[in-house]
């Protein structure tokens, strides 16, 4: 280790193990979400100039559970499935690719399709095996943009926390709480499909909104103890009231 490296370690405001954990955790998170966002955004951009072909749905499944309970009920088992075939330049191809950010779109991508149905397919002229059936900018793009931005900001803040002050580490934990809560809210939003009424929104907003406000209060504590207290009080009281109202209304509906 050279002299410069020793100087950098000496400037750390937190323990070396904690600093390494921050870089690994926030860095891998930012790399994962940022990389996937760039990949799907690039395909979305390229797909705007792809040729259109006619295809046929060969398999369509949505809102289904595995036949065998031992297969589990995780996100991979509940994933929608659309398989279609299409002809391009005299050759027949098969694909399961719906479109960029498909897993993050609010609402079902597959519900409108059934086996044997004809559909339009957008095909990459230079690589006909690559295709999508939806090249619009939908809700999945914006959700993933927000999540990716939060992940990158979290990483940058983590680097600052290492060299600024211990309070920055507290704010780093607050950002972690916000990011995890926002992700969990999105998973709940996607998993609920169309079964969302006013009571669902009250419970979800109260629970996840309370967690997000709690994380925000930890960040605000860097500059204002009063702001921290107000936001935390709003998170606890507002969250509990919203959840209770949603549960009570849902139970009496």
What single-letter DSSP state applies at residue 60?
E
- Backbone conformation region of residue 114, classed left if phi is above 0, alpha if psi is from -120 to 50, else beta: beta
pLDDT of residue 12: 53
Nearest to 220 by CA among 163, 154, 171, 150: 171
Q: Is residue 228 part of a domain?
A: no
pLDDT of residue 11: 55
pLDDT tens string, the chain, 253 residues long: the values are: 444 444 444 455 566 777 788 888 888 989 999 999 999 999 999 999 999 999 999 988 865 544 554 444 444 444 578 899 999 999 999 999 999 998 888 777 888 888 999 999 999 999 999 999 999 999 889 989 999 998 998 888 888 877 766 677 778 888 888 888 888 887 787 776 556 678 888 888 889 889 888 988 888 887 888 988 998 899 899 989 998 888 888 766 5
Q: Is residue 127 part of a domain?
A: yes
List the structure tokens of 45: 């951009």
pLDDT of residue 73: 40
C-alpha to C-alpha distance for 150 and 160, rounded to whole angstroms: 15
Task: Quote the number of domains for the chain.
Answer: 1
- Which domain does 106 fall in, by range? 49-132
Query: What are the E-state strand segments in 89-150?
Result: 91-95, 118-123, 131-132
Q: Is residue 78 part of a domain?
A: yes
Distances (CA, A) of 14 to 56, 63, 223: 58, 47, 20
Helices (H) and strands (E) in the chain, counts: 6, 5
pLDDT of residue 83: 92
Q: Is residue 95 part of a domain?
A: yes
* Coil vs helix vs strand at 84: strand
Q: Is residue 184 part of a domain?
A: no
């Amino acid at each position: 280790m050279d002299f410069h490296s020793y100087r950098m370690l000496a400037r750390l405001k937190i323990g070396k193990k904690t600093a390494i954990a921050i870089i690994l955790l926030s860095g891998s998170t930012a790399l994962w979400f940022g990389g996937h966002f760039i990949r799907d955004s690039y395909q979305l951009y390229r797909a705007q100039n792809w040729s259109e072909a006619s295809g046929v749905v060969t398999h369509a499944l949505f809102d289904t559970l595995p036949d065998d309970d031992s297969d589990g009920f995780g996100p991979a088992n509940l994933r929608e499935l659309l398989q279609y075939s299409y002809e391009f330049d005299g050759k027949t191809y098969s694909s399961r690719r719906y479109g960029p950010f498909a897993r993050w779109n609010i609402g079902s991508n597959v519900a409108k399709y059934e086996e044997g149905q004809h559909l339009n397919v957008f095909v990459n002229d230079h690589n006909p095996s690559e295709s999508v059936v939806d090249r619009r900018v939908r809700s999945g793009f914006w959700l993933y943009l927000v999540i990716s931005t939060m992940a990158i900001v979290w990483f940058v803040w983590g680097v600052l926390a290492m060299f600024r002050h211990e309070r920055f580490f507290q704010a780093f934990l607050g950002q972690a709480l916000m990011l995890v809560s926002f992700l969990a809210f999105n998973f709940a939003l996607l998993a609920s499909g169309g079964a969302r009424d006013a009571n669902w929104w009250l419970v979800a907003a109260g629970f996840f909104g309370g967690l997000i406000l709690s994380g925000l209060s930890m960040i605000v504590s860097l500059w204002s103890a009063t702001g921290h207290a107000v936001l935390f009080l709003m998170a606890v009281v507002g969250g509990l009231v919203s959840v209770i109202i949603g549960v009570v209304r849902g139970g009496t509906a």
